[in-house]
Amino acid sequence: MDHFAVIFGKQDARSPLTDAVTELSWSSQRDEIARSMSVRMKDAPDIHVAGMLMCFSQQTRGVLLHAKNQFFHGPIIKVEKDEFTNAWELEANEISWYLAKNKGTRPYLKGDAGEELQRFIRTTGIDFRCPKLGFTLDERYGTMPHSELILDVLQKAYERSGYRYHLDVIRTDQSFYLQVTREGTNTKVPIFIPDQMEASTAGYSLEETYTVVTAQKYKDDKLIASVTKSDAGGIKTLGRMEEILEVEENENPATVATQRLKSLSTPKQIKKITVKHEDHTLAGLRAGWLVLIKTDHVSKWIVESADTSFRNGLYTVQLVLERREA
């Protein structure tokens, strides 16, 4: 495979797998902590679980095996070898998968949500970076995996701001760090045209639609404030669907209810496409990316899920998309 490489690493040892690979596929989903990858190989060198799978595509000029060209890095969690044909199947997850395999003991977050999340995860020794998320927390969590804590805070950020976030792995020359990134802020924005598409469907969904939002504030387990905002037109045409949120002590329930109703009261426009391309710079495409579709006009979409396979130099990508208006 030209301009593409797969490497197996165990401690300081490195073994090239590129020539043995017959097919790779990887996927990412919104609200998941790590991407997953499957690899099929023939006549490969000896592979072990807990070794690292590293994948590179020619995204920049220069040496292929450079940090800027690496789009996947993570532990091999399952290995199967056919003892008759010497065919291998591997399953690997992004390095952030380890956040789901370690728990924090009753973490307490008090202060800016992003800063507090960053502070706590860094106590584990992980280089974890998170921007300010625009709200504060004063919450004692139960003992839980680090991944669940991160996803809970990011869900709260979405409820307050209407912005979704995902976790990305950023490679450096010597190491890596984990970065919380707002959806749609990718610097490389793919543009797909109908000629690249094998399939395309479009529609709407009510799964995340609410026409009534109630924001409640509690103190010492007692309800001290409750504000309900409704979309009368939406109730008439779509039906009554109510979301109830608990707000923090310093938040205004009316403001939160108004903001959430605005973002939730319209049915979500969705699209599913299957795209084929040969662009190695798009190997890292994942849930949370902004993509453009160019027909008689250019429309903006956020990737909810991405399933990619790579074989014989050709990428096949199945995308579930959500319309982005601005």
CB 200 within 8 A of CB 273: yes
Regarding beta strands 191-192 and 290-294, do their DSSP bridges make them parallel or antiparallel, or are they unpaired? parallel
Q: What is the pLDDT of residues 36-91, one digit of tens each?
A: 999 999 988 888 899 999 999 999 988 999 999 999 999 999 999 998 999 999 99
Q: In the predicted model, is pLDDT for residue 1 greater than 80?
A: no
Q: What is the pLDDT of residues 246-263, one digit of tens each?
A: 888 888 999 999 988 988
The CATH classification number of 99-182 equals 3.55.50
CB 152 within 8 A of CB 178: no
Instruction: Give the start-to-end residue ranges of the domains of the chain.
Output: 4-93, 99-182, 191-205+268-324, 212-264
Q: Would you state the structure tokens that stand for residue 207, as one six-digit string?
A: 């799964």
pTM above threshold 0.85: yes
Mean pLDDT, range 24-46, rounded to an integer: 94
Helix (H) or strand (E) holding 78: strand 70-81
CB 43 within 8 A of CB 21: no
Confidence of residue 325 (pLDDT cuts 50, 70, 90): confident
Cα 302 to chain centroid distance, Å, stands at 11
Q: Would you state the structure tokens that stand for residue 75, as one six-digit string?
A: 């532990």
Q: What is the pLDDT of residues 255-294, one digit of tens each?
A: 999 988 988 999 999 999 999 999 999 999 999 999 999 9
Phi, psi of 178 (to 5 degrees): -100, 130
30: three-class secondary structure by DSSP:
coil
Q: In the predicted model, is pLDDT for residue 326 greater than 80?
A: no
